[in-house]
Amino acid sequence: MTELGLRLTVDGPVARVVLDRPDVRNAQTPAMWRALAEFGTTLPADVRVVVVSGEGPSFSAGLDRRLLMGEQADGEEPLLALGSKPAAEVHATIAGFQAGFSWLRRPEFVSIAAVQGHAVGAGFQLALACDLRVVTPDARFSMREPALGLVPDLGGTQPLVQLVGYARALEICATSRWVEAAEAKELGLANIVVPADELTATVKDLSDALLQPLAGAVRETKALLLGAADRSYDDQLEAERKAQERRLKELLAALG
């Protein structure tokens, strides 16, 4: 995938996604999103942690500016060209883009974004697609789409509201302002802020810690937490009971 500006690798229980276009601050293209979606569907079943990072000083500056400015990029149509197509085609195309992000929410593994420098637009949404975010002091987030007359459409709106609340999420999106690392930590966007020279080691320590519990326990717990906001308290209690039943039966089967 290097010709697309991606490095996608699997090393035992850890998969890695590296945006590798440092000359353009890891700007993204639809081809990259399609490749990410395919990577997600072909992950081995024993993958338990996915780490997403960017090569160079920036995580991702968002969609390739050529596509925003009405130009073609690597054979891709300008984004505005979608506006001339039938609604069903627009929806199907955007759904394909979203698939490059949404697989990171699946409960089979825990996803970690290692963020330094810019995380703008699609870059911000890619970080939000991950379960956890480890950032450096120079990390800067901005949801730039509204400033361009667009909406965030790569799955970033729901996790943003879940992390910071509706009012703060609206303010961040509607103003397209920068959220610096310290504020991101305060708001809950970032789990931890570490010096740049400690980013790789911190992400590895976190990955190792996530690999310690049994895979089934982490999978069931993530699924419980992901669905908690959409359930009533009684429904959540029922979901916990069913999840625990599955865990007990799996543990018992492993002993026998």
Same domain, 189 and 243: no
Contact predicate 97/154, CB 8 Å: yes
Query: What is residue 71's predicted lDDT score, i.e. its pLDDT?
Result: 66
Same domain, 119 and 231: no
Q: In what order do the strands lie in the sheet with 6-11?
A: 6-11, 14-19, 49-54, 110-115, 132-135, 192-193
Out of 76, 145, 220, 245, which one is annotated catalytic?
A: 145
CA trace torsion 197, 201, 203, 207 (10° rounding): 180
What DSSP character marks residue 76? B
Same domain, 232 and 127: no
pLDDT at 202 over 70: yes
Same domain, 200 and 161: yes
Q: What is the pLDDT of residues 78-88, one digit of tens each?
A: 888 888 999 99
Range of lowest pLDDT (7-16, 58-67, 160-169) = 58-67
Domain that holds residue 171: 2-210
Query: What is residue 56's predicted lDDT score, i.e. its pLDDT?
Result: 97
Query: What is residue 221's predicted lDDT score, i.e. its pLDDT?
Result: 98
**Domain tally for the chain?**
2
CATH value at residue 206:
3.90.226.10
Q: What is the pLDDT of residues 127-164, one digit of tens each?
A: 999 999 999 999 999 999 999 999 999 999 999 999 99
Same domain, 14 and 92: yes
Same domain, 57 and 117: yes
Query: What is residue 3's predicted lDDT score, i.e. its pLDDT?
Result: 85
pLDDT at 35 over 80: yes
CATH value at residue 219:
1.10.12
DSSP E strands in the chain: the ranges are: 6-11, 14-19, 49-54, 110-115, 118-120, 132-135, 140-142, 179-180, 192-193
**Is 145 among the residues known to form the active site?**
yes
Same domain, 125 and 225: no
Same domain, 78 and 176: yes
